[in-house]
Copies of this chain bind each other. A is one copy, B any other.
C-alpha cells in the first residue's frame, strides 16, 4: 500500500462539496487538514479486512472499491460500491464485518480513526454530514434489497447498470438521454454484486445488448442510448430526482 503524503489542500479537492467534509467551514476544514493523509491503493489490493483492527477511516477521492463478505464455502456477496466522496469505516468500533477491496487505483483521504472520533464530537458539521450520508447509505442499502430479493436476472443487471450510469455516466452533449460510462467491475464482480453467477450476468448483458438497451465497446465501456429505456428494464419508476 503506497502512501503519499501530499500538500494537497482541501480547497482544491474534487469531492470537497460532497464528502464528509461538505458542511465544514474554514476552521473545521483546517482541523481535518491537520489529521488527514493520502493513500494510494493498487487495483485489486485490500483496503480493509473484515474483523481486523481498523486504524483509519477514509473518503474515496478517486477510483472505485467494493465492500464484500465471503462465506466459508467461498460464496461472495458485494454489498456496496464505493465511489469518489463515499466514506469508508466505522467510527467507535475497532473492526468492520466486510472486506474493502480496490477495483481500480484508489486514492483515499484518510483520517486516524481515534482522531476522527474526536473531530466528530467537536465539529458538529462533520457529525451531521456523516449522519446524513449514513442515512442515505442505509436507504440505498434497503432499496438494493428489492433488487436482490425480488428481481429477475435481467432486471438486476439493468438496475445495476442504471445505478452506475447515474453515478458515473457522462451524458452525450447533444442527446442528454444518451449516457456513457466505464464499468469498474469485471463480470464476476458484477455477478457478486447482484447475487448471480458470472455466466448469468454475462448472458443478461448480452441480451440487453441484443435488445438495444445498451451498447458496449471492449470489456468495460458501456453506452446507454436511452436512459428511460434502461429505467423501464430496471423497474425504476423514479421520476428523476435523486436527492442528496
Return chain B residues, CB-CB under 8 Å to A2.
none
Contact A148 B96 (CB under 8 A): no
Look across to chain B and name the residue whose beta carbon is closest to the beta carbon of A134: B134
Of A67, A72, A149, the most chain B CB neighbours within 10 A belong to A149
Of the 9-residue stretches A7-15, A119-127, A162-170, A206-214, which lies at the interface with chain B? Answer: A119-127
Pick from B76, B91, B139: contact of A96, CB under 8 Å: B139
- Provided the pairs A77-B145, A141-B141, A145-B141 are in contact, do residues A72 and B235 lie with their beta carbons within 8 angstroms? yes
**CA distance in complex: A127, B46 (Å):** 32
Say yes or no for A34: interface residue by CB 8 A criterion. Answer: no
A243 at the interface (CB under 8 A from B): yes
Mark A residues whose CB is within 8 Å of B.
67, 69, 71-73, 75-77, 79-80, 90-93, 96-98, 120-121, 124, 127-128, 130-132, 134-135, 137-139, 141-146, 148-151, 194-195, 235, 237, 243
Q: List 19 A-B contacts (CB under 8 A).
A: A69-B143, A77-B146, A79-B142, A80-B142, A90-B135, A93-B135, A93-B243, A97-B139, A97-B142, A98-B142, A120-B131, A124-B127, A134-B134, A138-B141, A141-B141, A145-B145, A145-B195, A149-B194, A149-B195
Ranked nearest first, the 10 interchain pairs of A and B with the lowest CB-CB distance are A149-B195, A148-B148, A141-B141, A79-B142, A79-B145, A77-B146, A77-B149, A75-B150, A131-B131, A134-B134
**Given A75-B151, A141-B141, 19 more pairs with CB closer than 8 A:** A72-B235, A76-B150, A77-B145, A77-B150, A79-B146, A93-B243, A96-B139, A97-B139, A120-B128, A120-B131, A121-B128, A134-B134, A134-B138, A137-B138, A138-B138, A141-B145, A144-B145, A148-B149, A149-B194
